[in-house]
Structure 1
Amino acid sequence: MKEQYKISDPRVLKAVSHPLRVRLLGLLRSDGPATASELGRKVGESSGSTSYHLRELFKYGFIEEDDDRRDGRERRWRARHDYTSWDAGELSATAEGREAVRIMHLRQAEFVGRVMEEFDLGGWPREWADVAGTSDHIVSLPPAGVREFNDKAEALLRDLAAKYAGDPESRQVSAWHGAVPRSKEES
């Protein structure tokens, strides 16, 4: 089971939802420990800017110094958790919480868009081209059905990651699932 950071304070969710902080935390999770300068080069920002945002992520408990891989001149940072979660129902009890969840949902959608924009089928063999992409479905489900969908998707992903761990053809992939009710005007 992967370690998670469960957020219950809307101020903490809002702090991590900054676009650059989301990217920095994601890079530390996917690529491992790095310095502010290394991350700055990856995201096209100055080391001063990335240093500031890394300190904010540290302040809220998302990252820590990587003592195992100290760099004499610069701090190395690593993610403290494999992923972040929050209870949107709990947070939506206040206007501040609803706004924090809304902002984070937008950041998640931006991330999916950026990954798809950067993905080039031409750089991958046919086996990957055949399976890469997204799909969308419009179905009628009650909240219990959406929860079941989410739970089963999470369980299936964990099972498949364990099944194919160590497979020489395995690569890191970005996998998404989600569901939101359509507005009444769209129905």
Structure 2
Amino acid sequence: MEQYKISDPQVLKVVAHPLRVRLLGLLRTDGPATASELGRKVGESSGSTSYHLRELFKYGFIEEDPERRDGRERRWRPRHRYTSWDAGEMSASAEGREAMRIMHLRQAELVRRMMEDFDAAEWSRDWVDAAGMSDHILSLPPAGLREFSDKAEELLRDLAAKYAGDPETRQVDVWYGAVPLSKQEEEQ
């Protein structure tokens, strides 16, 4: 259950729907759930969440959890831990570029929501000191940016393995993104 690599822009658009991306994220972080449970978490009716869960199922993002039946209602679980796509391949068409743009905006919305929800008063000093955001403006060629991304992925895997048994381990959401500045921004 590691990665779902999307090559079809239509499939990327399916998961980029605001409610679907939230539902999939909740299943990945909180574990299997029913449409009703998810509806309560996101403030939607179970009918609405059921519809969007069926769409996620139809395109292979989730599956029914056979080990955890909940009476008449299905419990859903993610089929993959991550969703990815080949940006070069996806950007070859207008439809693919639009799907990526929508997905990137959904990801940015999630980061905003997570930062709004983070309350330093609820966490120890160690967690508060370790959490946060920063930004850097560097001059790199595409190869340098790819190297950063590859090394960041490797470092995250190594750290997750290293601290897997630590009693202070908690789920954390780690984001990184990098895009070149537009020509106008670069000139300012």
Q: Same fold (TM over 0.5)?
A: yes
1:98 is displaced (CA, Å) by 0.4
1:177 is displaced (CA, Å) by 1.1
Paired amino acid for 1:29:
R
Q: Which residue of 2 aligns with 1:82?
A: 81
Q: Which residue of 1 aligns with 2:154?
A: 155
Gaps of 5+ in 1: none
Q: Deviations over 1:159-186 (max 9, x none)?
A: 0000000100010001011100011111
Q: Which residue of 2 aligns with 1:10?
A: 9
1:3 is displaced (CA, Å) by 1.1
Paired amino acid for 2:117:
E
Partner-residue secondary structure (3-state), 2:184: coil
How far apart in 1 are the matches of 2:139 and 2:133?
20
Partner-residue secondary structure (3-state), 2:84: strand
1:26 is displaced (CA, Å) by 0.5
Q: Which residue of 2 aligns with 1:46?
A: 45
1:142 is displaced (CA, Å) by 0.5
Q: Which residue of 2 aligns with 1:144?
A: 143
How far apart in 1 are the matches of 2:168 and 2:96?
42
Paired amino acid for 1:126:
R
How far apart in 1 are the matches of 2:129 and 2:92?
43
Partner-residue secondary structure (3-state), 2:97: helix
How far apart in 2 are the matches of 1:110 and 1:147?
24
Q: Which residue of 2 aligns with 1:55?
A: 54
How far apart in 2 are the matches of 1:77 and 1:114?
24
Gaps of 5+ in 2: none
Q: Which residue of 2 aligns with 1:67?
A: 66
Partner-residue secondary structure (3-state), 1:85: strand
Paired amino acid for 2:179:
V
Partner-residue secondary structure (3-state), 2:41: helix
How far apart in 2 are the matches of 1:89 and 1:111?
24
User: How many residues are aligned here?
Assistant: 186
How far apart in 2 are the matches of 1:3 and 1:120?
30
Q: Which residue of 1 aligns with 2:35?
A: 36
Q: Deviations over 1:103-149 (max 9, x none)?
A: 00101100100100111001111111111100000000000001000
How far apart in 2 are the matches of 1:115 and 1:5?
23
Q: Which residue of 1 aligns with 2:131?
A: 132
Paired amino acid for 2:136:
H
Q: Deviations over 1:53-90 (max 9, x none)?
A: 00000000000000000111200000000100001110
Q: Which residue of 1 aligns with 2:114?
A: 115
1:14 is displaced (CA, Å) by 0.4
Where does structure 1 differ by over 4 angstroms across 4 or more consecutive aligned residues? none
Q: Deviations over 1:30-63 (max 9, x none)?
A: 1110000000111111111100000000000000
How far apart in 1 are the matches of 2:174 and 2:95?
29
